Amino acid sequence: MNLPQEAFLRRIQKFIPKHWKQNVKQSKAQNKPSATSLCSQETFLYSFTPYDESMLDSILTSLRHSASQGHLAKAFRSFSLIQLHTSSSASCEFILFSISSLLSSCTDFKSLPLGKQLHAQIVLSGLLNHPALVPRLVTFYSAFNSLVDAHYITETSNILHPLPWNLLISSYLRTKLYKEALSAYEQMVNKGIRPDNFTYPSILKACGEESNFGFGKEVHKSINASGWDRDLFVQNSLISMYAKCGEVEVAREIFDQMPKKDSVSWNSMISAYASRGVWAEAFELFGSMQANNIEVNIIVLNTIAGGFLRTGNCKGTLELLSQMRHRGTQLDSVALLIGLGACSDISVLSLGMEIHGLAIRNWCSGCDNVRNALITMYSRCKDFRHANVVFRLAEAKSIITWNSIISGHTHWDQPEEASFLFREMLSSGVEPNEVTIASILPLCARVANLQHGKEFHCYITRREQFKEYLLLWNALVDMYSRSGKISIAKRLFNLLSQKDEVTYTSLIAGHAIQGEGRAAIELFEEMIRSFSSNNIDGSLPPDLGKLTSLQQLYLESNNLSWDLPAKIVTPHQWRLITICRCSTIKIEASHHQKGRQQSPDLKKFQIDLGLLLGSYDEW
């Protein structure tokens, strides 16, 4: 970052036009200034022939007008006239105003060569450290992402004002160079330059993006010492920084101590809770904002609507979106996606079609993410006619678009349609990913369609990129288990070098369906041993620990009632208990046909099995 000054100046001087050098030499010969340095302020003051100031005003006005319109060639001709006819210190401001206007125009109209010529003229005129031009130069080089030059100009200037450093730090933030921003802040402080209420928010954002809690705390101490701790903008930035560093409690403490809060304060605190998934507090703050008629921006409204959706409150999501519409808030693509997600979850076709109409009116229906959400919504509502219309209208179909329409058919157990679309996707040149396969394999298991399932098994095996996705192999084990092909499922199970709870529970469920309770219990015990041996302290994952305790409880109490599990297990666990009950009935029927009574131990195995299949449906 620290370039030698002489090398830097030589590089810049290459851009000086020859006629500018000649003008300076002629002026030196005529006026014979006492200072001969290239960067001498006196050289600049005596370099030009006197001229009428009213005429200079007219030329400067013409220059500014041309520069603002992007006519840079004409503006530079005006600048040459001003150069030739200024000679007094009173007319020095004409040069400053001219260079400042031209630098701004070179920045706005992306003219790097002309801007470097101006930089060269600044060096030639001895104005390199002028407080009015240094910020302009930093802005100019930052606009072209020449941050090395921008940093060098800033750190070599003798200006004690924080403006150039603020511009540099902001440029680092814009280009997501957060560590460089922190380094620039340290340099600034070490040079004795005091940060202001523009410096602190920028550097706090860098701390948050880097999750640098230690640096952020030091900046907070500096804020308290400088007196900027009561600045609203700085306080809001502190809330955001602590939230991004995971310190939501500290952020809330700052929020509660603020004597005055604006909408940004409330929005920042709600976003902090939302980012950590603490939805109860986020909803509470949102309710307080509404009760106090505090303005809520579209980002927070979308955040709360998304929070309702994530917590299963689809009705709350749709009601909030309806309120936004009635208040005149234009729903953006994010809001539309959230609304479509809610309609998909509860299969409300009429509202989904209304949102589709809004998307068309807001020119959002052509966006990939909105289109994919529409396909999912129509598919989940079993309106495949409209789902296919939206799908076919997509000119460039991404893998997500294909997955959306395929998963819609798998959701409603339509293997032929899903398989047809899969082949069409392959013929179109789009390679399926793990999501595509994982959405189809459970369908093959549910409808016991081994033909398609085996085809996908071969497809996975032949492709190297799928070998590391345990999710797919778990789906295959589950498919063969549900289809009654326990031997194939066990063979595949034994070939896997890595297994998780889902791998085990898929095969355990297969044994349950086939009425093989003892084999299922033995496999569960194997799973317990495997997971406990992998942990240093021999502990089990929370779910397995809970299920093992339940197993022991039932064995000790000999309680064979089916009522207790319904109170202590989740719905998906209860579904598996139902599977086990069915397998128990099958065994009882078999024993009844043979005239034998079912063994109490076997019956106990069947009931325990229902308690042990906790994570089967979660994957």
Share of residues in the chain with pLDDT > 90 (%): 49
d(CA 144, CA 112): 8
Checking if the pLDDT of 83 tops 60, the result is yes
Checking if the pLDDT of 393 tops 60, the result is yes
SS3 192: coil
**180 and 155 assigned to the same domain:** no
Asked if residue 194 belongs to a domain, the reply is yes
Please report the pLDDT score of residue 598 as a whole number: 42
d(CA 5, CA 199): 27
Checking if the pLDDT of 547 tops 60, the result is no
Average pLDDT value for the chain: 81
Tokens of 555: 């064995």
Asked if residue 383 belongs to a domain, the reply is no
**81 and 6 assigned to the same domain:** yes
Checking if the pLDDT of 230 tops 50, the result is yes
Answer with the residue of higher pLDDT: 30 or 351.
351
**254 and 129 assigned to the same domain:** no
Instruction: State the residue range of the domain holding 236.
Output: 176-296
Contact 63, 98 (CB under 8 A): yes
pLDDT in tens, 466-499: 888 888 888 889 888 888 889 999 999 998 988 8
Asked if residue 183 belongs to a domain, the reply is yes
**4 and 129 assigned to the same domain:** yes
d(CA 44, CA 54): 21
**155 and 8 assigned to the same domain:** yes
**105 and 232 assigned to the same domain:** no
Helical packing angle, 112-124 and 134-143, nearest 10°: 160
Asked if residue 292 belongs to a domain, the reply is yes
Question: Considering 100, 126, 159, which residue would you say is the last residue of a domain?
Answer: 159
d(CA 177, CA 185): 13
**510 and 605 assigned to the same domain:** yes
Checking if the pLDDT of 295 tops 80, the result is yes
State which amino acid sits at residue 560: L
**142 and 180 assigned to the same domain:** no
Q: In which band, very low, low, confident or very high, does the pLDDT at 561 lie, cut at 50, 70 and 90?
A: very low
- List the single range of 88-97, 157-166, 458-467 with lowest mean pLDDT: 88-97
Please report the pLDDT score of residue 10 as a whole number: 63
Please report the pLDDT score of residue 541 as a whole number: 56
Helical packing angle, 92-108 and 72-84, nearest 10°: 160
Helices (H) and strands (E) in the chain, counts: 35, 0
Asked if residue 257 belongs to a domain, the reply is yes
**113 and 246 assigned to the same domain:** no
pLDDT in tens, 301-320: 999 999 999 999 999 999 99
Question: Considering 253, 274, 296, which residue would you say is the last residue of a domain?
Answer: 296
Q: HSE (CB half, 13 Å, CA atoms) of 117?
A: 16
Asked if residue 340 belongs to a domain, the reply is no
Question: Considering 279, 296, 313, which residue would you say is the last residue of a domain?
Answer: 296
Contact 477, 493 (CB under 8 A): yes
Domains contained in the chain, number:
3
Asked if residue 304 belongs to a domain, the reply is no
pLDDT in tens, 9-33: 566 656 656 555 555 444 444 444 3
Where b means 16+ CB within 10 Å and e means fewer, 175-203 reads eebbebbbbbbebbbeeebebbbbbbbbb
Asked if residue 409 belongs to a domain, the reply is no
**207 and 118 assigned to the same domain:** no
Tokens of 402: 């294909």
Please report the pLDDT score of residue 130 as a whole number: 92
- Taking residues 389-412, report their average pLDDT: 94
d(CA 564, CA 68): 79
- Burial group, residue 37, by CB count within 10 angstroms (0-12, 13-18, 19+): exposed
pLDDT in tens, 421-458: 999 999 999 998 888 988 888 787 777 668 778 888 88
pLDDT in tens, 368-390: 999 999 999 999 999 999 999 99
Which of 463, 409, 408, 397 minimizes the C-alpha distance to 434?
Answer: 463
The neighbour count for residue 351, using CB atoms within 10 Å, is 19
Q: In which band, very low, low, confident or very high, does the pLDDT at 57 lie, cut at 50, 70 and 90?
A: confident
- Taking residues 103-129, report their average pLDDT: 90
Answer with the residue of higher pLDDT: 7 or 165.
165
**150 and 2 assigned to the same domain:** yes
Which of 551, 556, 543 minimizes the C-alpha distance to 580?
Answer: 551
**154 and 193 assigned to the same domain:** no
The CA angle 21-22-25, to the nearest 5 degrees, is 90
Contact 102, 140 (CB under 8 A): no
Please report the pLDDT score of residue 403 as a whole number: 95
Has this prediction a pTM greater than 0.75? no
Return phi, psi of residue 429, to 5°.
95, 5
